[in-house]
Structure 1
Amino acid sequence: MVDGELTRREQLVAAAFGLVAEVGLEGLRLRRVAAEVGIDQSTIHYHVATKAELVEAVAQHAAAMLATTAPPPHLPPREALAAHLDALADLVATRPELFTVTAELDLRARRDPSVRAVLDRQEAGWREVLVGLFTALEPDGPAAARAELVIAAVKGVRLVPDLAPVVLAQLVAPTEETERAGGGRR
C-alpha cells in the first residue's frame, strides 16, 4: 500500500459508510458496495466475510471519526469540555452523514449484539472521559448524570443539526456557574 491509499477493505468500509448515510442499513447491499469500489461482488468476501462484519466495520469507522473530538488532555477541565463540545458541534455541521450513520447504528444495535458491542465500547470510553471532566469540575456533583446528559444531547441534536452549537454550548454553562461559585477545580 502506498501512503495515503486505502486498502481494499478500507475502501469497502468507506463505501458502505456512504451507502448507510444515503439509504440506511436496511438498504445496504454488498453488491452495491462492491460496485462502488469497482470490484466484482464475488470478491468482496475476500475482504469482509459477511454483511454483519461490514456493518461492524462501519460502526468502528464511525467511532474512530467521533474519537477525533476527544478533549485535549492539557486543558483545564472546563476548557477541555468546551473544546470537546465545540468539536462535536463542528462535526455535526461538517459531517452530517456521520450522525445519520450513528443514528442508523443506534437503531441496529437494539437488535444486533455485535453492533451493540462496538457502540458500547465507544460510549464507555466517551462516558469515562466525560465523568472525569465533570468530576474535576465539581467533585461532589452528579458527574455520571451530566455525562449521560451530554451523550443524550449529542444523540438528540443529530436530528436537528442546526441547533447543535446552541444546545451543546448549554452543557458547558452550568460548569461556568459552578466555577464562579467556587465549587469547581481548575
Structure 2
Amino acid sequence: MTASVLRTGSRRDDLVLAAFELIARKGMEGLRLREVAQAVGLDHSTLHHYFPTKEDLIGEVVSYATGQLAETLRLDGTPVEQVTRHLRLTGRAVRDRTELFVVLCELNLRANRDPAIRAIIDRSDQNWRGPVEAQLARMSWAPGFDPATIASLIIAAVKGTILDPGTAPDVLDQLERLLVQAQAR
C-alpha cells in the first residue's frame, strides 16, 4: 500500500479505511500498522495516538464493515418483510461487494485463533443477532421453531455464503422461502 491523500478529512476514518483495504488485499496476516499509517501519510508511532492497539483499529474496521450492512436491518414493514428484506439485501451485498465480505471472512477466521478478535466479532454478531432475533420473535412460528435458533441459522447461512459469494442470493432466497413456510398459519 502506498501513501495516499486523505480520503475523508478525518485521520481516524482514513486509518480505518486503509486497514480495511489492506485486509481486503492481503488478509489479516498482511495487516501491518506501518503500512496503514503510511497509506494516510502518518508516521507509525502517530497511528497509536488514534488507536492505542491493533485490536482497537480492528474493532473500528469491524464497525465500519458491519455499518455498511445496516440498511439490511431496517425496521419498516411487517416482521416477515423485515426478515425477507434482510436476507435479500444481504445476499446481494455478499455477491456484489466482495471486498466487504472478504474482510469480514478474514476477521471471522482469525477470531478462531485470537481471543481479542473473537471478543470483537462476538460483540458485532450480538449487534446483528439482537435485531434479527427481535424481528423473528414478532413472527408466528409453527411448533418447534425457536426465534433465537433461527437467528443463529440466518447468521450461519450468511457467514457460510461468504465462502462462495456467487451463491449468496440463491442460498439466502431459499432460506427466506423455508422461513416463510415455517410460520404458523
TM-score, length basis structure 1 = 0.85
SS for the counterpart of 2:52 is coil
Name the residue aligned to 1:39.
42
Please state how far the C-alpha of 1:118 moved relative to its aligned partner: 2.2
Q: Is the 8 A contact 1:78 1:172 kept in 2?
A: no
Name the residue aligned to 1:117.
119
Name the residue aligned to 1:174.
178
Name the residue aligned to 1:130.
132
Please state how far the C-alpha of 1:24 moved relative to its aligned partner: 0.9
Match of 1:88 among 83, 90, 95: 90
Count residues with an aligned counterpart.
177
5 Å-filtered alignment, 1:1-186, equals: 5-70=8-73, 72-139=74-141, 140=143, 141-179=145-183, 183-184=184-185
Please state how far the C-alpha of 1:25 moved relative to its aligned partner: 1.0
Please state how far the C-alpha of 1:28 moved relative to its aligned partner: 0.9
CA distance in 1, matches of 2:181, 2:63: 37
Name the residue aligned to 2:3.
none
CA distance in 2, matches of 1:94, 1:156: 16
CA distance in 2, matches of 1:128, 1:51: 27
Shift of the 175–30 alpha-carbon distance from structure 1 to 2, 3 Å rule, reads: closer
CA distance in 2, matches of 1:177, 1:52: 42
User: How high is the sequence identity, in percent, across the aligned residues?
Assistant: 41
Shift of the 114–6 alpha-carbon distance from structure 1 to 2, 3 Å rule, reads: farther
Given residue 157 of structure 2, which amino acid in structure 1 is its aligned partner? A
